[in-house]
Amino acid sequence: MHDKEYYQILLEELKRRQLDLALIVLKRELAHYELEKTYKKGEIMGLTDEPDFKVLKNMINHQVNHLKLLRTELDDIDLDIEHCEFMIGRLNNR
């Protein structure tokens, strides 16, 4: 079993990683929004048969998949943070 100091250090590292990852997610969501906006403009202009339009669609799909992975990682970090906080509380009550 680890001691309280271990969990406190881990908690701080997890919180830093959580903030860094949240920033990455926000930037990716903004990029996804811009790609979607460009895609919609292309549809309106009738460019759906253009090769570059298909590349744009692939980029959007890639963004969606990457965002899912990042959000899963954020969820995992949230669980790890909760675990650390629980263990610190438990070790405080000894």
> Digits of tens for pLDDT over the chain (94 positions)?
689 999 999 999 999 999 999 999 999 999 999 999 999 999 999 988 888 888 999 999 999 999 999 999 999 999 999 999 999 999 998 7
Q: How many Cβ atoms from other residues are within 10 Å of residue 59's Cβ? A: 15
> Is residue 69 classed exposed, middle or buried when 0-12, 13-18 and 19+ CB atoms within 10 A define those classes?
exposed
pLDDT at position 66? 95
Number of H helices and E strands in the chain, helices first, is 2, 0
Three-class secondary structure of residue 54 per DSSP = helix
Residue 92 and residue 4 in contact, taking contact as beta carbons nearer than 8 Å: yes
Structure tokens at 75: 């969820």
